Structures are given as C-alpha cells and as structure tokens.
Structure 1
Amino acid sequence: MNAISLINHGFQQVEAYCATHRVAKVQSGPYQICPKCAVNDVETTNQDRQAEVDRMVRDKHFSGAMLPARHANSGFRNYMLDSNNLGQANARSQCVNYTKSIATGVKSNLIMVGSTGVGKTHLACATARTLLNKGLYVRYITSEELAQRIMNAWDKDSKGQSEESVIHDFTQYNLLILDEYGLHDREKRLELIHKVLYARYGAGKPTMLISNFTLAELQKDLGDRLWSRFQHDGLMVVECNWADQRVGGRHV
C-alpha cells in the first residue's frame, strides 16, 4: 500500500477536488485535504529534517577538526598563486591530488616542508575542508599542542584520560594534519609525537605532516624506522621552496 493509499484508507472522499492534482479530497476531521498534497508535505518535511541533520553533522565535523580561525575559509580556489612561481601551482596540484586520493580511501601519507609564510597551512586546511565536506573526520593540530595534550593526561585531574587513551583518540581520524613539526620542545615531546605517528601507522591511518625543516632535516628527525613506515603505504612530498608570502601584505 503506497503513501497515497494509506492516506485514502479510512477517510471518506468528498466532492471537492484538488485543482493541482485533480483528485478527490478526503475528509480529515474538520479539514478537506488532497492525498497527493499531504504526501508532498510529508516528503518535504522529511527532506527538511534530513537537511538539518546533515547540516548538524557537517558542523560537528568542522568543529571537531579544530582548524585555525584564520583558515576557516581557506580552500584550493582562494590559494593565491604568483604567475611567476610554478612551485606554488605544483604544490596546490599535489595537495588537490592527495585530497582526492584520501577521499577514495587511499591510506598514503603526505609531507609538506618549507620555510615560514609559504602557504603550507592554507593548503593543509584546504585539504581538511574538502574532506570534511565529504563527511570524513579530519583533525588539525600542531605538534606542540599534540604533545601537550598527551602530557596533560599525566595530571591527576585528567578526568580519567591516560596517555594511551589520548594517543588512541588521535588514531581514529581519517586524516591527521600535524602542523609545525619540529617546533616542539626537543627533549620532552619528540617521543610523544612519534608515538602518535607510530600508532597511526599501526592503525593504517594517513597523516599529513607539515614542517619548516628541509626534507633532509625532517628525515633525520623522524629516524630511519619512522621514515620507512611513512613510505609504506605511499608518500607524497611537497616542497615549498619560495619566499615568505606574508611579507608586503601578500596572503597565503
């Protein structure tokens, strides 16, 4: 029995007709309604409710990603390119391709290196926003913040969280974007960050690692074992070798 039949069933038809659908209306209490109009109203209400649920889920994804406020609207389209800088266009193209691969379920990693102000965080947030819009869970965090999150679990007032549970939490995201790698305290925090990277490798989850190091410096800092694991499922390297774009009011 379809929706219109369900509405007709148990209701008495009246002589009035719906001008839109040209079908007899039925008596529903004090009202005369068109069965087809009623079905459309129900479907529209359901669609509106689903749209609201989808919006709430999307907002929750974006909120949980913790993207920097400055990059709340950073995308691939508004990544400003210098027509004389082919490296910028190549970096954007690589990040676009990486984003597409993650969206299809590929588990490869990406490393992006370059000095300050070259647009690395913009491209990372463009990647995050694209994937978030596709319903994936993405988390942005700096290496300093990540290490501090783990260290906070050592406090007696950590509300039941342990070092292991924090690390586990960071293995759950479809993509982890770890920015400013290398700017953390070298002695106390490097091991903690590496624990998260090892855990994500073990869970088969991709990571985007961003650093002001050169590629050689980054490889040395990660160490042979972690560097090898970063390449296991495929590794894309983006090198941003151009001048600081913030100087002179240029935007990245």
Structure 2
Amino acid sequence: MKSIRDLLNNPNMIMDSEALEAFKRQREAEERAMVERIMRENAAARQAKLQRIFDENSLIPPVLRKATFENYQPTNTELRVAKETGIEYAETFRPDESKNLLLTGDYGVGKSHLAVSVLKRLIERGFTGIFITVPELLTKIRSTYNRDSNHTELELLETIKAVDCLVLDDVGTENGSDWAVSKLFEVVDGRLGKHTIYTTNLDSVALEKKIGERNFSRLMFDTIPVVMKGEDYRRRGFGRGDQ
C-alpha cells in the first residue's frame, strides 16, 4: 500500500486518485439522477392511473353537465347567499386550508347545481375534483370486490382521499347497512384536512340518525352548513332530477 509520502512524490499518482474521485462523484450523480427519473416516471404512471379512476368516477348526471354559477338563478335571499357562498368558496380555495360545505335543503332547490358549479370552477383553476353520489360511490367500492375489476378498493379509496375537492352528492340516500356506514366513515375520515362538499335533503337531526353519530361528527369537522330553501327547479323547467 502506498504511503502519503509516495503519493506526494508522484504527481501522476495524485492526478489518478483525483480522477478516480471525480469519476466516483460522477457515477453517484448519474445514479441519483436515474433513481429520481424512475421515481418521477412511477409517479407519473400512478397519477395517470388515478386520473383514469377520476374520470370513471366523476359521474355528473347529464342534467347537471351544463350547470354553472351563471345559469343558477336563485329565487330568494337564502339561495342568493348560498350562491355567493359557493362562488367565494371556489375563488378563495386553497388546498392547504381545509374547508368543507354542507348544502342541505329541500328537493330541487339547486344543491347539486351549486356543487357542480364549484367543482367546475376549481377544475378551471387547475385543481382536481370528483363528483359522485354516495350510493354510486358505494356501488363502485363493491365492484372492486369482483376479481375482474380494473382497480382495487384501496386504489379507489386512495383516489377519493387524494383529490383536491370531492363532491359527495345525496348523502343519506344510501341504505343504512353497517357496511355502508363503515365505508362512508372510511371516505369521510380519509378526507379530514381536505376539501369536501356534501349535499343532502336531510336536516341535521335526520342526517345524524341516518349516517350515525361518528360519521356525522367527522362530516361536520371544518364544515360550513348552507341551508337552501326555495322553489323547486324542476317546476321551473330546469330539468328533472336537479337538486
């Protein structure tokens, strides 16, 4: 083994040693870059898969696909306040500041219309969003139990958890089985710290009874209730099924 004195007396050997260290640093940098590239590619592939799940599960009913803030026409002060609340929510939305909305009121007053309008505005701003009814969501979860399913229950729940804004429409219309209540809790609990918009035709007492105290407590965390009462949109010809 060469001594330090030998290395100092042999400049060429010193240069070789420096070249070796430089080579090692270059290889390490290349390896780090390769690992980072692979991680980016894996993340991109995962995001693409999640996006396909988003597209599959963002099931806006045909009657609501043209819904916007502009064509929502409130007929009283309460509904005008609801519209203004929706617009403010969409325009001031920040992913790092958790805030939910609970739109509650009679059938046909435009709850789903406003929820879709908020979601569309957020997507225009570059955020991700899903609109889905609770019964349809539970059906989707059940479908993952089929061995021919293209994605797992975990992937579906992770997608629901990760999206910037989730609209859960028609909360309280699902059957009240223990399984349904448990899965709803998984979804709501997984959204803590995120942004979720809920719509329901039930008042607070009936909703708590329907979904259970634990679910109701989670649902109301960081949630602004917006009560909507007014004329039925369907009687004004907006379209059957709008809520």
Structure-2-length-normalised TM-score? 0.69
Aligned partner of 2:107 in structure 1 is 116
The C-alpha deviation readout for 1:182-216, integer Å capped at 9, x for no partner, is 11122142321221111112xx2111111111122
Alignment of 1:6-85 (within 5 A): 65-82=58-75, 85=76
Aligned residue among 224, 229, 232 for 1:241 = 229
TM-aligned CA distance change 1:178 to 1:217, over 3 Å: same
Aligned partner of 1:136 in structure 2 is 127
Letter in 2 for 1:217: A
8 Å Cα contact 2:176-2:211 kept in structure 1: no
Question: Offset of 1:177 from its aligned partner?
Answer: 0.1
TM-aligned CA distance change 1:92 to 1:162, over 3 Å: same
Q: Counterparts of 1:115 and 1:231 in 2: how far apart (Å)?
A: 19
Aligned partner of 1:97 in structure 2 is 88
Q: Which runs of 5+ in 2 are unaligned?
A: 1-51
TM-aligned CA distance change 1:177 to 1:229, over 3 Å: same
Q: Sequence identity of aligned pairs in percent?
A: 26
Aligned partner of 2:3 in structure 1 is none
Letter in 1 for 2:197: M
Q: Counterparts of 2:170 and 2:183 in 1: how far apart (Å)?
A: 15
Which segment drifts farther, 221-230 or 142-151? 221-230
8 Å Cα contact 2:188-2:218 kept in structure 1: no
Aligned partner of 2:208 in structure 1 is 219
TM-aligned CA distance change 1:63 to 1:150, over 3 Å: closer
The C-alpha deviation readout for 1:111-170, integer Å capped at 9, x for no partner, is 1111211101110110011000000000000001100111111122224x3322221121
Letter in 1 for 2:104: V
SS at match of 1:242: coil
Question: Offset of 1:96 from its aligned partner?
Answer: 1.3
Aligned partner of 1:145 in structure 2 is 136
8 Å Cα contact 1:116-1:244 kept in structure 2: yes
Letter in 1 for 2:80: A
8 Å Cα contact 1:146-1:193 kept in structure 2: no
8 Å Cα contact 2:108-2:231 kept in structure 1: yes
| RCO comparison, higher one (Cα < 8 Å, 6+) | 2
Structure-1-length-normalised TM-score? 0.67
Aligned partner of 2:7 in structure 1 is none
SS at match of 2:170: strand
8 Å Cα contact 2:105-2:203 kept in structure 1: yes
Question: Offset of 1:231 from its aligned partner?
Answer: 4.2
Would you tell me which structure has more strand in proportion to its own residues? 1
Q: Counterparts of 1:80 and 1:103 in 2: how far apart (Å)?
A: 27
